[in-house]
Structure 1
C-alpha cells in the first residue's frame, strides 16, 4: 500500500464518527473524535510528504479530509435544512489545502433563514474551532454577496472559487450565476483591477522575487501569480487551469509544462514550510531555510555553494518562470480584450507596431535572423511611446531561444548587435533588463545563467546575483539621469567624461558572474570577462580594462572602508595599484553602483563622501605622476598653518589661535582637516581650558554627523562614550581617539542614525550633546551597556569572533571580525577598558551581519601590547561577545 492509499484508507472512517441528532450540536465525545481524526490525517499527510508523495495529491487529500469533517459538523449542528448552503471559498473552494492553509467558509441563505439558524450556526463554528480548524467564515445573503463583490474585486475573486459542501443546491447555483454575470466585473475591468491589486502587492516586496526571505505566496513569482492566471483565464476565456488555457491558445504546450513544473516546486516548498513552521507562514524565513534545504536533500559543496543557497536557487528559478510567463499571459489577456486600433505602424524593416506593442513583420524573423532577438529590445529605445513586446512576439522569442540553444551565444551577428546596444551607454540598461526578463541575456552570456537565482546566505547581499547585477546596471544608468546627477554630481560628471561607457556596463555584467563556483569570484570572473570581450572583438586595451575592473571591483570599497584614507601612504598605495585616471574613474563608478545595488540600506552620505574623498585624493596623486607623499612633519605643519588662518579669519588673534592649537596633539594635524580643527578649537575655547567639550556637527563634510569630545582622560572614558551612543541609537562609522600632552582626550567620531542610516537632525544633535555632557561631567562614568534582544535575522548569522593583532608604528592593531549585534561597539569598549588598554584610532565597518573593526591600541604607558596583554584582551573580547576563549 503506497502513501496515498494509506491516506485514502483513513477517509471512510469519518462517517462512522459518533453522530449527534440533527440540530442538536456535536457532543464532547464526538468533538474529541473529530479532533483525533483531524490530527491522524494531518500526521499521515506529513508522513506521506516526507516519504516523497506528490504534493498535488496531498493538498487535494487534505481538502477532502477537512471537507468531510466540516460537513459532518454541519449536519450535526444545522442538519439538512433546505434554507441555507455551506460553501468552501478561496483555496479550499479550489480543493487545495496546505497544512496551515485557511479554511474559508461561506454560509449563504435568506435573511430570515439565517436568523432562524443563528444558534445552530454559532454552534457549528464553535465546533470547528474546538476541533482545531480555526475557520475563516462569512454569513451572507445572496444580495450581500452581490453588493460586496461589486465593491471589492478581492471578494468577487474569492466567490469565483466557491464550491458547495452541504445544504441547498439552489443557493449555490444562484451564487454561480451571480459570479458569471457579465455585468459584474466585466473581463476588462476585472483584468485592470487585478493588475492594480498585483502591482500594490508586489510593491510591498520591492517588486522582485529575489528577496532574502521571499514570500512564496504573495511575492512576485509566488503562488498568487499562478492563481491570478487561473482567475483571468476563467474570466477572460472560460479556462480555469493551465491545460484548459493551452486548449484555448492562451498558453502553448511548452509554457503549460513550464508552469506546471514551477507550480510543483512552489507547492512543495510551501507544504514543507507550513510543516516546519507549524503555522500559516508564507515567508521563507532564515529560521527555516537551512532546515528545509537539508530535508530536500541539498548538501554543502563548498563555502560559496552552500546547501541553503542551492535550495533557494531552485525556488528563485521557479519563481522567475512563474513571473515571466505570468507577464506574458497578462499581455495576451490584455491584447484579447483591447485589440489594437488602426492599421499597423512602420518601425523598421523587421518590426511594426500594433497599438503600443511591437510585432514581427515576418513571424519567422527570429528563426531566420537571430540577431533580431537583440534588436527587438533596442526598438523601444528609439520609440519610447511603445509599451513593449506583443504576446505573440514574446512567444516567438521563447521558441527561437529554445531552437538555437547554446549556438545563440556563438553567433557573430548576435554579438555585434549586443555590442551595438551596449554602446548606447546608459540608455542600454533598460533594454538589458528586458533581455534579462525574457531570458535573452542569459542566452548571450551562458555563464550568467548559472547565477540566475543564485543567493548568498548572508545579510550583506539582499538580492540574488542576477538581480544585484541588474540593479548595478540601473545605478550606472542613474549617472546620466537628471535626478541621479543631482544626488551624485561627482559620479555624473565622471560618467559624462567616459569615452566608452560600454566598458563600464560590461564590467558590471561580469563583476559577480563567477559567484558560487568556489575560489575567488573576482579572479574567475576576470577570465570570463576577458574571453567574452575578445569574442566581441574589442581592442586589447579595452579588454584589459574590463578584465581589470572585474578582478579589482572590490579594491576601492575595501580601501575606503577598512583603511585610513586620510593617510597619504594609504592613498598612494591605492593610486599605484590603480595606475591611471581611466582605471580610477571606471572603478569609482562601478564601486558606487555595486555598493548601492547590494543592499539599499548600505548606501548613505558617509560612504558617498568616503569614496569621493578617495577618488579625489587618488586623482591628485596620479596628476603628480605617482610621486611619494610629503613627509609627516611637512603635512602637519601645512595643516596647522591653514587651521590658524581659518581661526584668524573667524576673529581670533594670531597669538590666541596659536595658543588654542598648542593644546592639540601633533597627530591631529595629520588626521584632520583644517576646517574641522578650526571648529574643534573654537568649541574648546568656548568651554574653557578645563571644561568638558561635547560638540556635534549634524552635517559633517564627510557625510553623517561629527561628534567631538575633549575632556580629561580617565579610565572608562571611551567605554562611557560608546555606551551613551549605543543608548542613543547611534552607529559609529569612524573614530579618531587622540590624547594631548595635558592628559586630555581629543576624540572625534563620525556618526549615523542606526535606524535611518542618515545624519542627525539639529534637534537630535543637541539632545546628544546634552546627554553625553551629563555622562562625562559625572563623578562616576556610566559604562553599563544596555541589554537588547538579538534581532531575529541576526540570530541565524552568528559566527565565532576572530581576533588578530599586529604591530603598527609603535602601537598594536587589533582586527576584530565578528557577527553584528545591538550594542557591539559598547561591549568592545568595555572589554578594552577591562583589559586596561588605550584606544588611539578606530575603523568601524559593517557588511550586513558581518562586522570588521580595526583599533590602534597601546598599553597604559603608550607601549605596544605584550603577548600576555594581547591574550588577556582576547579573552575579555570573547567573553564579552559570548564566545569561549580557545
Structure 2
C-alpha cells in the first residue's frame, strides 16, 4: 500500500466521519523525489486548472439557477456529476498516457452518479504495484491539476489485491461497491468487481449485519431522533444515509443499484418504493439548497442557514406559521416516513438471510414470527380500526415482542387512509381506544401509534402538529415529539418509585382518581399550536369534544379541558411571581379551587417543563413547584374564604425553624438571638428549613463581617443556594451577580432583604451555565467571599462571546414598570434577548441609577430572558416617573453595547 499524500492543495473535506475514514485510506505511492515536476508542461497544467475552475463555476451557477426555478434535484446532481466526469477525463488525458496500465473509477456517492454542490469527489485508480510506481509522476500531475481546479477530490491508488485488503473495512467496501468506470476497460472493471466480490470479502449477510449495527450506532449519536433543532440531513435518523444504507444492502445482496427491481421479488412494495423515492427527492432538495446557502460542506440544518434556505425554497411566512417552520416540518415528516419504511425493509432483508420462521400463535388473530408481532389473516385489517386497536392491545400485553412484522406494518400503512377518525368511529371503537389508555404501558402504546401514523389518523389535530417545530431555542422538540416526551414523563410518575428529579411526584400520583385523564390532558395540551389564537384555549375545546365523544362524564371532561386551558399557569406562577407572598398563593388557589385539580395540574406541569428540553428541568424548578404545590394545598385545606394572616404565618415559620435548630443542637435562647438579627420579612418569604440554615450560618458572626454560605438545593443535580450576609454597601448586589457570572453560574432567583443594623440578607439560587462552573459549595463560598471582602469597584462583569445559536434570535427588548400589590415597591419587567452576563449588566445599571433591588425573579426561555425585579429608590419609595425613564434609557443603552 502507498502512503497518504501530504498536503491538501485546497481540497475541501466532508465533515462526515465516514468520509474522513475514507480519506485516510486514500493514497498515491511515495516517490523518491516528491518535489519533482510531474510533467514538463507545467504552464499548460496551470492553464487547464484555471479553465476547469471557470467551467465548473459556470456549471454550478447554471445549476443553481435551475434549482431556484424548481428543476428536479435528481437531474441536477446527475448533471453536476456529468460535468465533473468530463473535467476528470480531460485531466486524465492531459496527464496519463492512453496506453498506461491504469484505470480510473468513481466511487462513493460520486460513483452513484450524484454530486451535490459541496460534496467530495471520491476516486479510485486501479493499477498493479509496478504501474503505480512507474506512473507516479503522471498521477501526481493529475491530482494536483484537480485540486488546483478546485475539485474536492478524495482518492486512492490500489491494485486489485490492495482493494480486497482495504475492503476488510466495511466502510471502505461501502464506497467501492458503488464504483462507476470513468476511464477503464472491461478487464479493469472485471478485476475490480472480482476483488470486492462477496466471495472475496464481506458476504451479504455479514455486510447486512455490519451496516445495520452501523446505522444503530449512528442513530444513537443523534439521540435516536430526527426531531432536533439543527438536524443532520445526511447522517441523522431518517436522513439520506438511511436511504443509502438500504441501497447498499440491496446492491450487496441482490446486485441491484435501486430498490425498484426488488418490487418484483416482493421485498419492496410499489407504494414503499414510491414513498422512499419521493422523500429522497425532498431530502435531496434540502441538501442541495443547504450546500448553496452555506457555500461550504454542511449537512446540518443549522440556525445560521434555516431562514435563508426556507426563503430560497419558497416557503413564505404567514400570520400563523413562519416559512422556516413549514420547511422544517416537511423535513421531520420526510424523516419519519423514511424511518418507518426503512424499519420494514431491514426486517425483510433479515428474513432473506435467515428465512421466515413458522408462526407462534398468540390467539386467533395474532402470532409471533421471529419475535415480531404479525396478523394471522392476510387481509388484515380490512379498514377496521377495532382490529388495529386489538393489535396494539396485544402488543402491550407482550413486552417480549421485538416489533411489528414487516408485512403487518405494511398492511397497516396501506390501510391508514381508510381508517376513520374518532369523530366518525362507533362508540365501541372509541371505547377500545380508551381501553388502551387504561392498560399498562399505555404511553408506550401511544408512542407506537404516533410513530406508525395511527394516532394522527384517529385524532386529525395530532396529525397537524406532527413534525411541527417552533423557531426558537426554548422548544427543542417538534410538537408531536414534545407531546410524547410529556407522556413518557407521566408514565415515569406512575411507576410508584421515588425519582430524584421529581421529589414529590410519586406521592401525588397515587391520589389521581383516573390517571388516564392526565394522559388525555397531556395528549391535547399543545395540540392547537400553529392555528393562531391561544393554543391553550383552542386545545381545551378540542379536548372537551374528544372526551365527550369517548363517553367521559361531564365532570371528567371538564377536568381535562381545564387542565389543557391552564397547563401553563402553574409554571408561570412559580417562575414569575413571588410564591412566598400569601396573596399570590391565595390567587392561585382561587384559580385551582380544589385539591384534585391541584394534583393533576402539578403533575402535568412537571411533565410539560421536563419534556420541553433536557436542560430545562432542574432541582431549582423541582423545589419551586413543590413549594407552590404545598402552599396551595394548605390554602385549599384552610379555606379560600379565610383572610391571609401574615403574622400567624411568620410565627409558625419561626416555631418550625426553632424546632429544626434544636435538632442541630441550638438552644431555644440561641435560636432566638440569631432570629433577632434576621429580617422579619424572611420569616414570611422563606421556608422553615431555609430560615434554620441561614440562622445557623450566622452563629458567632461579628458585626461588619461578610459571611457567605453555599449548599446544594438537593442531593440530585447541581443547583446551589447561595446566602450572603454583609454590611450594606453601594454596588454589593451587582458585585455578587458579577462574581457568580464570572464563575459560570446562571442566577434563577434572587431575594434581597434588609436586616437590622444596616445588614443585608441576600439569597440566590443558581445553576452552572457553562462547563467551567464548579458545583463545589466550598469553592463557591471561597471565591465569592474573597471578592466581597475586597473593593467592590474591582468586580467587573466578564465579557464572553455570544453563542452562535443566540445570534439568530435577536429582538427588541421590552421594559415595563408596574407596582407591587401593596404599593410599596416598583416592579420592573424586562424581556430581552439572552446573552452571557446579561443579568450582571442589568445589576450594574441598577447600581449606577441608585436603585435598590429587593427581589428578582429570573427566568430564561431559550433565547428569551424574562426577569422581574422589585425596586425602590434611595429613599425606599417606589420609583417616580422620571427615575423610571432614566432607568429605561440606561437599560436600553446597555443592551446596545
TM-score for the superposition, normalised by structure 2:
0.92
Give the whole-Å Cα distance in 1 for the aligned partners of 2:78 and 2:640. 72
The alignment status of 1:309 with 2:325, answered yes or no, reads yes
The alignment status of 1:297 with 2:332, answered yes or no, reads no
CA contact (8 A) 1:22 1:78 kept: no
- Secondary structure (helix, strand or coil) at the match of 1:742 reads helix
Q: 1:500 aligns with which of 501, 505, 514?
A: 514
CA contact (8 A) 1:22 1:75 kept: no
Residues 786 and 539 (structure 1), Cα distance of their counterparts in 2 relative to 1, 3 Å cut: same
The alignment status of 1:376 with 2:391, answered yes or no, reads yes
Tell me the residue number matched to 1:802: 814
67-76 vs 773-782, greater mean Cα deviation: 773-782
Residues 499 and 640 (structure 1), Cα distance of their counterparts in 2 relative to 1, 3 Å cut: closer
The alignment status of 1:225 with 2:242, answered yes or no, reads yes
1:512 to partner: Cα distance? 0.6
- Secondary structure (helix, strand or coil) at the match of 1:664 reads coil
Tell me the residue number matched to 2:370: 355
- Secondary structure (helix, strand or coil) at the match of 2:167 reads helix
The alignment status of 1:625 with 2:644, answered yes or no, reads no
1:484 to partner: Cα distance? 6.8
Residues 640 and 491 (structure 1), Cα distance of their counterparts in 2 relative to 1, 3 Å cut: closer
631-640 vs 740-749, greater mean Cα deviation: 631-640
Tell me the residue number matched to 2:302: 285
CA contact (8 A) 2:366 2:375 kept: yes
The alignment status of 1:874 with 2:891, answered yes or no, reads no
The alignment status of 1:790 with 2:802, answered yes or no, reads yes
Give the whole-Å Cα distance in 2 for the aligned partners of 1:126 and 1:852. 56
Per-residue CA deviations over 1:789-848 (Å, capped at 9, x if unaligned) read: 111100111111111111112010111111111011101101111111000001111111
Q: 2:430 aligns with which of 415, 428, 451?
A: 415
What is the 5 A alignment of 1:634-649? 634-647=648-661, 649=663
Q: 1:510 aligns with which of 524, 533, 556?
A: 524
Tell me the residue number matched to 1:17: none
Tell me the residue number matched to 2:23: none
Give the whole-Å Cα distance in 2 for the aligned partners of 1:406 and 1:357. 27
- Secondary structure (helix, strand or coil) at the match of 1:366 reads coil
The alignment status of 1:48 with 2:66, answered yes or no, reads yes
Residues 403 and 239 (structure 1), Cα distance of their counterparts in 2 relative to 1, 3 Å cut: farther
Tell me the residue number matched to 1:711: 726
Give the whole-Å Cα distance in 1 for the aligned partners of 2:648 and 2:296. 68
1:510 to partner: Cα distance? 0.7
Residues 768 and 136 (structure 1), Cα distance of their counterparts in 2 relative to 1, 3 Å cut: same
The alignment status of 1:772 with 2:784, answered yes or no, reads yes
1:23 to partner: Cα distance? 8.4
- Secondary structure (helix, strand or coil) at the match of 2:831 reads strand
CA contact (8 A) 1:571 1:618 kept: yes
CA contact (8 A) 2:80 2:115 kept: yes
Give the whole-Å Cα distance in 1 for the aligned partners of 2:736 and 2:850. 16
CA contact (8 A) 2:472 2:809 kept: yes
Residues 657 and 675 (structure 1), Cα distance of their counterparts in 2 relative to 1, 3 Å cut: same
Residues 654 and 477 (structure 1), Cα distance of their counterparts in 2 relative to 1, 3 Å cut: closer
Tell me the residue number matched to 2:156: 138
The alignment status of 1:668 with 2:682, answered yes or no, reads yes
Tell me the residue number matched to 1:596: 610
Give the whole-Å Cα distance in 2 for the aligned partners of 1:339 and 1:595. 47
Per-residue CA deviations over 1:324-379 (Å, capped at 9, x if unaligned) read: 111111122122222243x4222122112222122222112311633111221221
498-507 vs 25-34, greater mean Cα deviation: 25-34
1:599 to partner: Cα distance? 0.5
689-698 vs 141-150, greater mean Cα deviation: 141-150
Q: 1:322 aligns with which of 334, 338, 342?
A: 338
What is the 5 A alignment of 1:398-477? 398-404=413-419, 410-425=425-440, 427-477=441-491
355-364 vs 655-664, greater mean Cα deviation: 655-664
CA contact (8 A) 1:783 1:830 kept: no
Query: For structure 1, which runs of at least 5 residues remain unmatched after alignment?
Result: 1-19
Tell me the residue number matched to 1:747: 762
CA contact (8 A) 2:619 2:714 kept: no
Give the whole-Å Cα distance in 2 for the aligned partners of 1:620 and 1:872. 43
CA contact (8 A) 1:621 1:627 kept: no
Per-residue CA deviations over 1:458-488 (Å, capped at 9, x if unaligned) read: 1110011111111111111112347774654
Residues 168 and 518 (structure 1), Cα distance of their counterparts in 2 relative to 1, 3 Å cut: same
Q: 1:562 aligns with which of 576, 582, 602?
A: 576
CA contact (8 A) 1:568 1:629 kept: no
CA contact (8 A) 1:697 1:765 kept: yes
Tell me the residue number matched to 1:14: none
TM-score for the superposition, normalised by structure 1:
0.93
529-538 vs 562-571, greater mean Cα deviation: 562-571
Give the whole-Å Cα distance in 2 for the aligned partners of 1:568 and 1:590. 24
- Secondary structure (helix, strand or coil) at the match of 2:629 reads helix
Tell me the residue number matched to 1:260: 277
Give the whole-Å Cα distance in 1 for the aligned partners of 2:464 and 2:286. 21
1:651 to partner: Cα distance? 4.2
CA contact (8 A) 1:23 1:79 kept: no
Residues 670 and 414 (structure 1), Cα distance of their counterparts in 2 relative to 1, 3 Å cut: same
Give the whole-Å Cα distance in 1 for the aligned partners of 2:727 and 2:422. 73
Give the whole-Å Cα distance in 2 for the aligned partners of 1:794 and 1:411. 50
Give the whole-Å Cα distance in 2 for the aligned partners of 1:484 and 1:33. 71
Tell me the residue number matched to 2:619: 605
Q: How many residues align?
A: 857
Give the whole-Å Cα distance in 1 for the aligned partners of 2:772 and 2:720. 11
Per-residue CA deviations over 1:526-551 (Å, capped at 9, x if unaligned) read: 11111111111111111111111111
1:131 to partner: Cα distance? 0.9
CA contact (8 A) 1:785 1:827 kept: yes
CA contact (8 A) 1:522 1:551 kept: yes
Query: For structure 2, which runs of at least 5 residues remain unmatched after alignment?
Result: 1-36
